[in-house]
């Protein structure tokens, strides 16, 4: 940390948004902080605390604490707006008390790192006089999409409530794949739900705009500098961006799962031929594809005699044809939740049919697996555009009829150059040089934090 050293201000509080794809990279970031000599404290809503604490850090060096949330106990809500209410109405006062307790009279907290989707915690940090950095768990391009909202309103691409006003390409980064207004992450559900989601994002942007730092769980594209930078085409008041990912490669701790993993998936895979199995998972956040599409995909796999492992929770199995599970016991395996990294790294898995969530994308890349893409919501459409158009390590599917599935798998597995592209992208994102770059960016952030806090005599001294 240059010529700075920590006094008692060695604790860094991390506040993730309470979804699987947000908690996992935040846990890996906590591990990176631990390796730098900090004492990470991960604070989550009460309802997920007991679900993740055992896997957060088996050695017990990462402290995990909970704040009340007003949600029903022993229930993982899938409703975006129920969680938003908990984060806005129940969390802030409890979090502020906890932060002040941890900080104490000696200023033990060096910094708070807050997931931008948990933006109410940014205001808590400011009230407590604690330096605060933002955390973006996805790729830089999706942050840029949110940061570009004012420009999209100004140019008439969207209304001031987020509704697309005209079709047209969106390009906010150099060499970005072409996106359309239908790819915007708040366009989910009914018109009222879309308006509420857009309000969530504009509030998030407003709270985060004056942050000094933003840690991004991503890697530099060729068109951007490796060093921390201001984003192109955004105002000087935006935070400095430190690309410190993909954090999924810090695999020395197990992903803290909200659900019990079905380990029999691995035993089943041991009996399959190499690269013969399609792994299917549409993530943990939204209802995946609807009952009609579940039925269509199920029948296509059965007709093709295609071996598969399908992550499908009990609430989402209504779409399976009657007697389906009994008919496909030898062909495939349906599980409520799988140990995803272990499955993806198994030699029997040939490709991954995915919703294109960012963590799933990076875990597939880490496992060198080809991707069948079917984005469902949020940032997944942007990720899909990069996977298919820019990186060319996957194929987008338009539906789940037998013809769609057959053509998708055939196109994916018969692309003889895809393995080469996968390996090149793997080296650029997961290799030794990429890891050194990410850790160097993290170190630069620490130096910047030290300089600021030392300047104002807050928590660090030379």
Domain ranges of the chain: 11-254+431-460, 263-428
Place of tokens 């104002």: 456
Angle between helix axes 358-366 and 418-430 (nearest 10 degrees) is 110
Would you say 446 and 1 are in contact if contact means Cβ atoms under 8 Å apart? yes
Query: C-alpha angle with apex 13: 108 to 47, nearest 5 degrees?
Result: 135
How far apart CA 295 and CA 368 sit, in angstroms, is: 29
Would you identify the CATH topology of the domain 11-254+431-460? Answer: Rossmann fold (3.40.50)
How far apart CA 366 and CA 21 sit, in angstroms, is: 16
- Using a 10 angstrom Cβ sphere, with 0-12 exposed, 13-18 middle and 19 or more buried, the burial of residue 192 is exposed
Pairing of strands 240-243, 109-115: unpaired
Place of tokens 């069948």: 372
For the chain (462 residues), the mean pLDDT of every run of 10, in chain order, is: 45 92 91 88 86 66 88 66 90 95 84 96 95 95 91 91 84 75 86 94 94 93 53 59 86 63 92 96 74 93 96 87 94 93 96 95 96 92 94 95 95 93 94 88 88 54 39
Q: What is the CA radius of gyration of the chain?
A: 22
Q: pLDDT value at position 42?
A: 94
Distances (CA, A) of 198 to 117, 178, 189, 192: 12, 22, 12, 10
How far apart CA 162 and CA 199 sit, in angstroms, is: 8
Q: How far apart are the first and last CA of the chain?
A: 10
Q: pLDDT value at position 286?
A: 55
Reference 298, options 277, 272, 324, 275; nearest CA is: 324
Place of tokens 């006094």: 7
How far apart CA 67 and CA 47 sit, in angstroms, is: 9
Q: Which two tokens stand for residue 331?
A: 């062909």
Place of tokens 């599935």: 405
Please report, to the nearest 10 degrees, the dihedral formed by the alpha carbons of residues 61, 49, 185, 407 taken in order: 80
The string over 370-390, giving b where at least 16 C-beta atoms fall within 10 Å of a residue's C-beta and e elsewhere, is bbbbbbbbbbbbbbbbbbbee
Residue 423 in 3-state DSSP?
helix
Q: pLDDT value at position 256?
A: 65
Would you say 293 and 400 are in contact if contact means Cβ atoms under 8 Å apart? yes
Q: What letter does residue 248 receive in the DSSP assignment? A: G
Place of tokens 């088996």: 58
How far apart CA 183 and CA 281 sit, in angstroms, is: 21
How far apart CA 233 and CA 320 sit, in angstroms, is: 47
Pick the CATH number of 263-428 from 3.40.50.2000, 3.40.50.720, 3.40.50.300, 2.60.200.20: 3.40.50.2000
Q: pLDDT value at position 260?
A: 77
- Rounded to two decimals, the pTM is 0.89
Query: C-alpha angle with apex 144: 92 to 451, nearest 5 degrees?
Result: 65
In whole angstroms, what separates CA 140 from the centre of its chain? 11
Cis peptide leading into residue 50 (ω within 30°): no
């Amino acid at each position: 940390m240059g010529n700075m050293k920590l006094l008692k201000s060695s604790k860094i509080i991390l506040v993730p948004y309470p979804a699987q794809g947000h908690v996992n990279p935040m846990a890996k970031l906590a591990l990176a902080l631990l390796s730098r000599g900090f004492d990470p404290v991960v604070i989550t809503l009460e309802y997920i605390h007991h679900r993740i604490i055992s896997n957060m850090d088996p050695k017990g060096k990462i402290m995990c604490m909970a704040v009340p949330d007003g949600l029903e106990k022993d229930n993982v809500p899938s409703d975006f707006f129920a969680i938003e209410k908990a984060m806005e109405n129940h969390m802030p006062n409890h979090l502020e008390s906890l932060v002040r307790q941890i900080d104490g009279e000696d200023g033990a907290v060096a910094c708070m790192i807050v997931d931008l989707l948990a933006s109410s915690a940014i205001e808590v940090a400011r009230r407590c006089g604690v330096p605060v950095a933002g955390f973006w768990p996805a790729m830089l391009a999706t942050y840029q999409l949110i940061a570009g909202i004012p420009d999209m309103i100004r140019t008439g691409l969207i209304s001031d409530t987020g509704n697309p006003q005209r079709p047209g390409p969106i390009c906010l980064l150099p060499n970005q794949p072409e996106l359309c207004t239908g790819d915007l992450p708040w366009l989910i559900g009914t018109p009222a739900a879309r308006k509420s989601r857009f309000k969530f994002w504009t509030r998030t942007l407003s709270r985060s705009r004056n942050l000094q730092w933003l840690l991004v769980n991503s890697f530099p594209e060729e068109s951007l500098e490796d060093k921390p930078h201001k984003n192109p085409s955004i105002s000087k008041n935006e935070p400095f961006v430190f690309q410190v990912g993909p954090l999924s490669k810090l695999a020395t701790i197990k992903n803290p799962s909200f659900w019990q993993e079905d380990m029999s998936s691995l035993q089943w895979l041991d009996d399959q031929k190499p690269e013969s199995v399609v792994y299917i998972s549409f993530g943990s956040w939204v209802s995946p594809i609807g009952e009609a599409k579940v039925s269509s995909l199920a029948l296509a796999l059965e007709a093709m005699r295609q071996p598969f492992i399908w992550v499908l929770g009990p609430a989402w199995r209504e779409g399976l044809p009657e007697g389906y599970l009994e008919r496909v016991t030898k062909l495939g395996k349906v599980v409520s939740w799988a140990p995803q990294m272990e499955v993806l790294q198994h030699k029997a898995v040939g490709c991954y049919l995915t919703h294109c969530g960012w963590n799933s994308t990076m875990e597939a890349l880490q496992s060198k697996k080809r991707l069948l893409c079917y984005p469902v919501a949020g940032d997944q459409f942007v990720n899909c555009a990069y996977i298919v158009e820019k990186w060319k390590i996957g194929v987008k599917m338009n539906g789940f009829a037998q013809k769609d599935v057959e053509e998708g798998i055939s196109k994916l597995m018969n692309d003889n150059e895809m393995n080469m592209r996968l390996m090149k992208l793997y080296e650029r994102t997961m290799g030794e040089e990429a890891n050194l770059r990410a850790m160097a960016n993290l170190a630069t952030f620490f130096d910047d934090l030290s300089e600021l806090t030392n300047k104002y005599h807050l928590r660090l001294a030379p």
